Structure 1
């Protein structure tokens, strides 16, 4: 069992996105596009599973103050 998202670690996947978004405002285009492709693949394979960021389910500073999690969730 992973420990990637408090209260949501059973039968789930944890994906790490590299970068310090306390300093950087935008994710590099290549990284964002790779995330979108992976998210699309996994959501289709596992029936549109929910996507959560660390700080949505517990106390964490991930992924940083300057990145908007909603931008990572849109299709």
Structure 2
């Protein structure tokens, strides 16, 4: 499985302060997990979302690399 991180979307008129959407897509090279962040730009700075997204990406990569380990065992 591969990971695809879509660019975060800033929004002013959303009812959700912070959202994270994940879904699987079948591609010619296999299954890909799509990840998309959505956030209120009045509440979050772009750098904060980028940092959270990178930390989440690191966690997902560790889970894929060691699926037998629990999340608390992973060093992220």
TM-score (ref. length: structure 1):
0.37
TM-score (ref. length: structure 2):
0.36
State the structure with bigger RCO (CA 8 A, min sep 6), 1 or 2: 1
Q: Which has the higher strand share?
A: 2
Q: Which has the higher helix share?
A: 1
